[in-house]
Structure 1
Amino acid sequence: MENKKITTSLVAGLLLATNLFSQELSTITIVSATKSEQSIKDITSNVDVITKQDIEERHFTSVIDALNSLPGITFTSNGGIGSTVSLNLRGSSNNRTLILIDGVKFKDHSSISGTDISSLMVTDIERIEVIKGAQSGIWGADAAAGVINIITKDAKDGFHGFVSTEVGSFDTHKFATQLSYKNEDFDLKFDAQKIESDSFSSQAIRNQYLDVLENDEYDNTTLSLKGNYYINDSAKLNFSVVDIDSLKAYDSSGPNDVLMKNDSNTKIYNLGFEQKYKNHNISFSLEKTKTKRDQQGTTWGVKLTDNETTNVELSDTISYFDNDFLLLGMGAGKDEMDYTKADRTSNFASNKTKYFYATNSNSFGDLILTESLRYDAFDNFDNKLTGKVGAKYNLTSDFSLFANAGTSYSVPLLINNINPWGSTNFNIEPETSKSYDIGFEYEDFKFTYFYQKVDDLIDWYDPTPLNYFNNDAIYINQDGTSKFEGVEISYKRNFLDDFLLSLSYTRLSAKNKDNQYLARRPKDDFKFGLDYYGFKDLHLNINGEYIGDRFEQLDKKGTQTGRYTVWNAVANYTLTKDVTTFLKVENMFDKYYQVVDGYASSPRSVTVGLKYSF
Structure 2
Amino acid sequence: MTFRRYTLASAIVASMAASTVQAVELDTQQISGQLFEQNIAEQAFAVEVLDRSDIELLPVSNIADALEWVSGLDVRQRGSGGTQVDLSIRGAGYEQTLILVDGVRMNDPQTGHHNFDLPLVLEDIERIEVVRGPGAGQYGPNGNAGVINLVTRKQVDGRVAGIKLEAGSKDYDRAMISLGKTEGNWSQFAAFSQQKSDSYIRGADLDYTTQQGNYRLVHQNDSHTTVLGLGYMDKGFGAQGFYAGADKRANENTIQRHVYFTHDQRFDNDLRADIAINWRQHDDEFFYLNYAPSEHQTNAWQTRLRLRLANDFALGYEHNQEDIDSTSVTDNRHKRDYSSVFAYGQHDLGVLQLAGSLSYLNYDDGDSYTLPVLGMTIPFAGQQLYLNAGQSARVPTMNDLYLNQTANKGNPDVQAEETTSYELGLRFNLAGALGRLAIFNRETTDAIDYTRTDAEVAAGSAYIARNIESIKTKGLDAEVDISGLLAETGFLKASLSYTRLIQDFTNQYAEARYSQSQFEHQAILSLAYEIIPGLSATSQYKFESRYNQDGYRLWDLGVKQTFDQWHWALAATNVLGTEYIDSGYIEAPLNAYRLEIGAGF
TM-score (norm 1): 0.86
Cα contact 2:305–2:317 (8 A) shared by 1 = yes
CA distance in 2, matches of 1:592, 1:52: 32
Residues 351-390 of structure 1 correspond to what in structure 2 (within 5 A)? 351-390=336-375
Per the alignment, residue 587 of structure 2 pairs with 600
In the alignment, is residue 579 of structure 1 matched against residue 566 of structure 2? yes
In the alignment, is residue 294 of structure 1 matched against residue 285 of structure 2? yes
Cα contact 1:490–1:504 (8 A) shared by 2 = yes
Cα contact 1:101–1:150 (8 A) shared by 2 = yes
What SS is found at the alignment partner of 1:465? helix
Per the alignment, residue 11 of structure 2 pairs with none
Relative distance call for 1:547 and 1:195 in structure 2 (3 A) is same
Per the alignment, residue 410 of structure 1 pairs with 394
Per the alignment, residue 494 of structure 2 pairs with 501
Per the alignment, residue 339 of structure 1 pairs with 326
Deviations 1:178-198 (CA, angstroms, capped at 9, x unpaired): 111112231111111111111
Give 1:266's match in structure 2, choosing from 227, 237, 256: 256
Cα contact 1:123–1:193 (8 A) shared by 2 = no
Structure 1 position 93, deviation (Å) = 1.0
Relative distance call for 1:287 and 1:168 in structure 2 (3 A) is same
Structure 1 position 31, deviation (Å) = 1.8
CA distance in 1, matches of 2:590, 2:451: 36
The one-letter amino acid paired with 2:478 is: I
Per the alignment, residue 564 of structure 1 pairs with 552
In the alignment, is residue 58 of structure 1 matched against residue 58 of structure 2? yes
Per the alignment, residue 477 of structure 1 pairs with 467
Give 1:239's match in structure 2, choosing from 228, 240, 258: 228
Structure 1 position 462, deviation (Å) = 3.9
The one-letter amino acid paired with 1:260 is: A
Relative distance call for 1:505 and 1:130 in structure 2 (3 A) is same
In the alignment, is residue 30 of structure 1 matched against residue 17 of structure 2? no
Give 2:544's match in structure 1, choosing from 535, 543, 547: 547
Structure 1 position 505, deviation (Å) = 0.2
Across the aligned residues of Structure 1 and Structure 2, the Cα RMSD in angstroms comes to 2.8
The one-letter amino acid paired with 1:27 is: T
In the alignment, is residue 428 of structure 1 matched against residue 428 of structure 2? no
The one-letter amino acid paired with 2:414 is: I
In the alignment, is residue 528 of structure 1 matched against residue 525 of structure 2? yes
The unaligned stretches of length 5 or more in structure 1 are 7-20, 205-212, 553-560
Cα contact 1:333–1:354 (8 A) shared by 2 = yes
In the alignment, is residue 277 of structure 1 matched against residue 277 of structure 2? no
CA distance in 2, matches of 1:58, 1:185: 32
The one-letter amino acid paired with 1:567 is: W
What SS is found at the alignment partner of 2:278? strand
Per the alignment, residue 189 of structure 1 pairs with 189
Per the alignment, residue 9 of structure 1 pairs with none
Structure 1 position 118, deviation (Å) = 8.6
Deviations 1:338-395 (CA, angstroms, capped at 9, x unpaired): 2114xx9852222211111000122334322111001111112421111100111244
CA distance in 1, matches of 2:471, 2:597: 48
Residues 204-223 of structure 1 correspond to what in structure 2 (within 5 A)? 204=202, 213-223=203-213
The one-letter amino acid paired with 1:546 is: F
Per the alignment, residue 299 of structure 2 pairs with 308
CA distance in 1, matches of 2:298, 2:600: 37
Alignment: residue pair count = 566
Cα contact 1:198–1:215 (8 A) shared by 2 = yes
The unaligned stretches of length 5 or more in structure 2 are 7-22
Relative distance call for 1:477 and 1:345 in structure 2 (3 A) is closer
Structure 1 position 85, deviation (Å) = 3.1
TM-score (norm 2): 0.87
The one-letter amino acid paired with 2:115 is: T
CA distance in 1, matches of 2:80, 2:403: 27
Structure 1 position 140, deviation (Å) = 1.3
Per the alignment, residue 391 of structure 1 pairs with 376
Cα contact 1:194–1:220 (8 A) shared by 2 = yes
Structure 1 position 256, deviation (Å) = 7.0
The one-letter amino acid paired with 1:91 is: G
Cα contact 1:355–1:377 (8 A) shared by 2 = yes
What SS is found at the alignment partner of 2:519? coil
Per the alignment, residue 478 of structure 2 pairs with 489
Runs of at least 4 residues of structure 1 off by over 6 A? none
Deviations 1:12-44 (CA, angstroms, capped at 9, x unpaired): xxxxxxxxx974x61322123x43222110111
Counting aligned pairs with the same residue, the percent is: 21
